A = this chain, B = another copy of it.
Amino acid sequence: MAYNTSKNIKTNSMKQHTTEPDGRLGVLLPGLGAVATTMIAGVEAIKKGLSQPVGSLTQMGTIRLGSKADNNRPRIKDFVPLADLNDLVFGGWDVYSDNVYQAAVNAKVLEPGLLNAVRAELEAIVPMKAAFDRNYVKNLDGTHIKEATTRYEMAQALIDDIEQFKTNNDCSRLVMIWCGSTEIYMEESAVHSSLASFEEGLRNNDPAIAPSMLYAYAALKSGVPFANGAPNLTVDIPALIELSYLTNTPICGKDFKTGQTLMKTILAPGLQARALGVTGWFSTNILGNRDGLVLDDPDNFKTKEVSKLSVLDEIFQPEQNPELYKELYHKVRINYYPPHGDNKESWDNIDIFGWLGYQMQIKINFLCRDSILAAPLVLDLALFMDLAKRADMSGIQEWLSFYFKSPQTAPELAPEHDIFRQLFKLENTLRYLMGEDLIAHLDLEDYQDLASTV
């Protein structure tokens, strides 16, 4: 038997379109809390050779090129033209006036020894005043807040902040990654339906425009890529999608995929792969950081709950596999538990069934660290969103679904939650950008010689 061995897809390279990452890249972070300060402190420590960027796919991850037997697996940062860590500068906004060193100390994520080693760099980063409204985050109360008569004025103030930051820090490019709190639950409404109505809403001070939308609007207006690390609606509305294409700017979101949901989108595809049925999935979390405090309010938890609940349906497709998944009862709880601080811990009970309906159970206890898992995602998104901008990729970046609990996709397109399909998509997108063959894991040619020797 003779195989057709051309198992990988030949692509037309986009390599020529991508500009090189010259100059400094400014990383703007709304919300300089535990996640953002852990990321910044880490990058500074890594620059000094004190630590490793573990958890960062761009820095530590490799990518297979060509045939499996070629054994060609460069680091991703050596394969695609990403900004160098030494070219990053950080800034942001917060409702507290603490500089990044003080904020990092308060967050109690990193040990004092490490923070002291980068103290000067962190103290130099002082937050700009936040565009904040307590109606959207009830359990937070800050004092370092912008004053403005209308949402329009507030947005303009943010646009000014962005421009000033770029000039002051001599940046050639900027990206913005939302690291702020979860806002109250909100659904798409008329004011979100087009750029025109949105801008009218800004002037009319429409309460359906949440603070996070002002940041996103300001970024996109300025041509700055925007990634949304919280489950807030923010940039997932027609008005801002429209703006992203108009200004040729990448957007993506939402809600960093860490901890329990990360585990869920790893495990669920495995169960589905084996055609095992699932009748129940109970997930609970305990955490004692600021995020836990915010989510102790039911309105804010609702936003997070919707984000966390969505993942299983897409993976299991109960309408297509009713015998296996139509009975699935999925419940997610988050409990504020101060003794654990940032050491978020999850416990899952999964009720599955196999051959002839016999029941089995899986229990997963993840003693994780919330900000430690999230920090490298912020870094990767900053670097990939900058790449996307330079590669002329506007609008929704679905290939970055890998990083999100609730990936933003084209309207009416179901998001992909399976982390392995997300990874294949991400990797093949990079191969595509660089003109490499796509990988489909067929590898039939590996057996040509063997068969022919007999």
Contact = CB atoms under 8 A, between A and B. Distances in A.
Interface in A325-363: 327, 329, 331, 333, 335, 337-340, 345, 347, 349, 351, 353-358, 360-363
Contacts of A61: 275
B338 A329 contact: yes
A141 to B, nearest CB: 22
A144 interface: no
A331 B443 CA distance: 31
A128 to B, nearest CB: 25
A442 interface: yes
A355 B376 contact: yes
A209 interface: no
Interface string A400-419: 00100000011101001001
Contacts of A425: 441-443
A246 B317 CA distance: 44
B274 A262 contact: yes
Interface in A371-419: 372-373, 375-376, 392-396, 398, 402, 409-411, 413, 416, 419
* Total copies of this chain within the assembly: 4
Interface stretch (A8-16, A25-33, A174-182): A8-16
A269 interface: yes
A186 interface: no
Interface string A34-77: 00001100100110000111111101111000001100010000
Contacts of A38: 355
A270 B262 CA distance: 8
A360 B355 CA distance: 23
B363 A376 contact: no
B275 A282 contact: no
B424 A441 contact: yes
Interface in A418-447: 419-421, 423-425, 428-429, 432, 438-444, 446-447
A375 B362 contact: no
A440 B439 contact: yes
B367 A365 contact: no
23 contacts: A1-B393, A4-B12, A8-B9, A60-B275, A62-B320, A114-B356, A245-B451, A263-B267, A279-B339, A282-B337, A284-B347, A347-B347, A354-B373, A356-B372, A358-B372, A365-B365, A395-B454, A396-B450, A409-B446, A411-B450, A421-B441, A424-B440, A429-B442
Interface of A: 1, 4, 6-9, 11-12, 17, 38-39, 42, 45-46, 51-57, 59-62, 68-69, 73, 110, 114, 241-242, 245-246, 262-263, 266-267, 269-270, 273-277, 279-280, 282, 284, 286, 317, 320-321, 323-324, 327, 329, 331, 333, 335, 337-340, 345, 347, 349, 351, 353-358, 360-369, 372-373, 375-376, 392-396, 398, 402, 409-411, 413, 416, 419-421, 423-425, 428-429, 432, 438-444, 446-447, 449-451, 454
